[in-house]
Chains A and B, each alone.
Chain A
Amino acid sequence: MSKVLMMGNEAFAEAAIRAGCNCYFGYPITPQNEVPEYMSHELHKAGGSFIQAESELAAVNMAYGAAAAGGRVFISTSSPGFALMQEGLGFICSCEVPIVAMNVSRGGPGVGGIQPGQADYFQVTRGGYNGDVKIPVFAPANIQESVDLIYEAFDIAEKYRNPVVIFADGMLGQMMEPVEFPPAKPIKGSDEISKDVPWAITGTDHHEGRNVVFSLRLQPDVLENHVLHMFEKYAEAEKELVRYKNINVEDAEIVFVAFGTMARICVEACELLEEKGVKAGVIRPISLWPFPNAAFDAITDKTKIVISTELSMGQMIEDVRTAVAGRWPVSLISRTGGIVPTSIEVMERALKALEEVK
C-alpha cells in the first residue's frame, strides 16, 4: 500500500481499526478529539462498535467489559482524562485483561492547557493505580512509528493479558505526516471470539468450564501469590519489550535523552551543535516502561554530560539517573506548560550545560 498524508490522531484511530479493534470508547478532550471523531464514522464500517462514553471513567470500564468478553479494545484520552482512567487501568491489570490505551498528552497540572506536554511521564510510567502494577508504555516520535506501535500493542496486550499504553504528546496528535498502514486484520465476531479467547466471559455454552474475571482476593496469601504471578509476567516484559534508538551516541560529547517530539528537536539540535564543532548524540527511549537502561551502555568516555531533555520539569530524569548510575554527570533541559523549545534553544542550553561540567 502507498503512503497517505494523514493527521496523527486520525492515523492512530486507523491503526487500531487495522489491528482488528472491536470496540473504541472515548470522551471528548483536546488534543485527541479526532480519535473519537474518526472512530465514530469509520469503526462500524469495519465491523466494530463505537460508544461516546459519558466520562473517561465510563470509557475505561466499557473497555474492561468488552475486553473481558474477549474483544480487542482501544481507548484514547489526554492527560486529565488519563488521570480519570487510572482506577480502571489498575483494576484491569489485576483482572489480567488486555486493552490498548492512548494518552495524547498536554500541559498540566490540573486542567492545565491544551498544548503539547510530557509531564504525564510519571502518570504513565508510575501511574496513579493502587497496588503493585506495571503497564508497558511506548512513546513514538513520528506518526508512522505511532501506527506501527498501536498495531503491535494489541498483540503485546494479549500476550501479557495486561493494558499497554501508547504515550504521544499533543504535537504528534495534531501534526500531519505521510504514513503507510499495515494490512487490515478482520474484526472478529461474537462466535469467533468465543472460540479464540478461552479465558473470556462469553457464556458457558461457548467454552469449556466457567469463566470468571475478577480482582478481589480477600486472603492475603492468595493475593500475594497473584501479585507474584503478575510480576513474573512483568519480569518477562522487562526482557522482551525494551525499545530504544541511539543516534551518534558513541563519539558524542553531549548525549541527549529524549522521547517523542522532544527527541526530534534534539536530533536537530545535534546538527546545530555539529556546526559549532561539538559532537552530540541522542538516546531515544521508545519503551518508557520498561526503561531502556541498556541504551546507556553505548555511551563512551568521550561523553562529558548526559542531558535529559523533556517537556516537563524533569520526570524521566529519575530513570535517566538510574540508568547512568553515576557514570556521567546528568543535567536537565526542560520547558513545560505546553511550550515546545526550538532546536536553537536546546543547542544553546546544551552548550551552557557542557561549559559547566568542563
Chain B
Amino acid sequence: MKTVFEPTVGMLPVDTSYCPGCTHGIAHRLIMEVLEEKGELGNTMGVVPIGCSINAHNFMNIDMCESTHGRAPAIASGIRRIHPDRIVFTYQGDGDLASIGAGEIIHAAHRGEKFTTFFINNGIYGMTGGQMAPTTLIGARTTTCVDGRTVEQAGLPLRMCEIISQIDCAVFVERVVLNNPANVRKAKAVIRKAIEIQKAGLGFTFVEILSSCPTNWGLTPVDSLKYVSEDVMDYYPVKNFKTPEGF
C-alpha cells in the first residue's frame, strides 16, 4: 500500500496540551515538517516563551530552551553567537512578543539577527485564562475587558508585521493564517522561505501566524475559524511585507 502521509519525525509521538480548535498544533507541525524536509532538525535550536507554547519542547523533537517572558529574541541572539552556522528560531505568542517583549523583538530586528521568529497571534492571553492582549480586536470581550475592548480604554490593536517591516535589517516579514487547508499549505511555504533566508544569512526573518483560541474566545472551533476569516483577517491583512531579492 502506498503511504500518502506520515507524521514528521520533528514532532514527538505524544498528545499536545493544546485545546481543541487551537492552531498551535498545526503551526508546530508545519515548522517541524519544513525543518525535516530541509534536513535541519538536528541542526536547530528553538526558544519557547511564557504562554501556552512554553510546552512546545514537550512536542517538538529538537533541542530547545525556555525563555523568560518576552525575552526570547534576546536569548536567540545569544544562541546565534555561539552557533552562527546553525538554525535558531523563537516561537512566541502575542502577549509575549507584542506586550512584555516588544523591546526585545524590535531590537533583534534592528540588529538584523539571523534567526526566525514565529509570532502566533490569537489576540488573547491563552495560558493565563483569556486576558486582553495588545492584539485583541476592538469590541472583543476578554476577562480584562468584559464589555469588549474600546479604543478609549486600550487604544487600537498593534500590527506587528507593519511595525517590524519598517526596520531595515528585518529582511523577510510575512503574515499567514491557518483558517483553511489552502492557507495552511501557503503558510508552510512561507515558513520554508523564512528558514531558507535565515540559512542564507541575510538578516532577521519574521512570520506572523494568525491563530485561534476557541477556549478563551468563547467560540466553537468552527466559529473561531469564521472569526479569524472575517474579523481578524480584516484588521490583520494576510500578505508579504518584505522579501529579499532572489527569494
Task: Give the B-binding residues of A (Cβ under 8 A).
Answer: 22-23, 25, 49, 51, 53-55, 57-59, 61-71, 73, 87-88, 91, 95, 190, 193-194, 201-206, 210-216
Instruction: Give which listed residue, B54, B62, B79, B84, contacts A65 with CB less than 8 A.
Output: B79
CB distance from A206 to the nearest CB of B (A): 7
B73-97 interface code vs A (CB 8 A; 1 in, 0 out)? 0111111011111110000000000
Q: Which residues of B contact A91 (CB under 8 A)?
A: 68
Instruction: Give which listed residue, A51, A57, A190, contacts B85 with CB less than 8 A.
Output: A190
Give the contact-size bracket for chain B.
35 or more
- Complex Cα distance, B52 from A309, in Å, reads 50
Q: Which residues of A contact B79 (CB under 8 A)?
A: 65-66, 68-69, 201
Which residue of B has the minimal Cβ distance to A215?
Answer: B66
Q: Are B45 and A203 in contact (CB under 8 A)?
A: yes
Q: Are B62 and A210 in contact (CB under 8 A)?
A: yes
Which residue of B has the minimal Cβ distance to A88?
Answer: B68
Q: Which residues of A contact B223 (CB under 8 A)?
A: none
Q: Which residues of A contact B45 (CB under 8 A)?
A: 69, 201-203
Q: Are B78 and A69 in contact (CB under 8 A)?
A: yes
Task: Give the A-binding residues of B (Cβ under 8 A).
Answer: 41-45, 47, 54, 57, 61-68, 71, 74-79, 81-87, 103-104, 106-107, 111
Q: Which residues of A contact B83 (CB under 8 A)?
A: 69, 190, 193-194, 202-203
A sample of 16 inter-chain contacts (CB < 8 A) reads: A22-B82, A51-B77, A53-B107, A57-B71, A61-B78, A64-B68, A65-B78, A68-B78, A68-B79, A69-B82, A69-B83, A190-B82, A190-B86, A202-B63, A203-B45, A206-B43
Q: Which residues of A contact B104 (CB under 8 A)?
A: 54, 57-58, 61
Instruction: Give which listed residue, B43, B63, B67, B103, contacts A210 with CB less than 8 A.
Output: B63
- Complex Cα distance, B65 from A220, in Å, reads 21
Q: Are A23 and B82 in contact (CB under 8 A)?
A: yes
Q: Are B54 and A216 in contact (CB under 8 A)?
A: yes
Q: Are B77 and A65 in contact (CB under 8 A)?
A: yes
Which residue of B has the minimal Cβ distance to A58?
Answer: B74
- Complex Cα distance, B86 from A215, in Å, reads 24
Q: Are A205 and B42 in contact (CB under 8 A)?
A: yes
Q: Are B75 and A64 in contact (CB under 8 A)?
A: yes
Q: Which residues of B contact A61 (CB under 8 A)?
A: 67-68, 71, 74-75, 78, 104
- Complex Cα distance, B64 from A216, in Å, reads 13
- Complex Cα distance, B113 from A58, in Å, reads 14
The interface centre, meaning the residue of B44, B75, B106, B111 with most chain A CB atoms within 10 A of its CB, is: B75
Q: 4 closest pairs, A vs B, by CB?
A: A65-B78, A205-B42, A65-B75, A66-B78
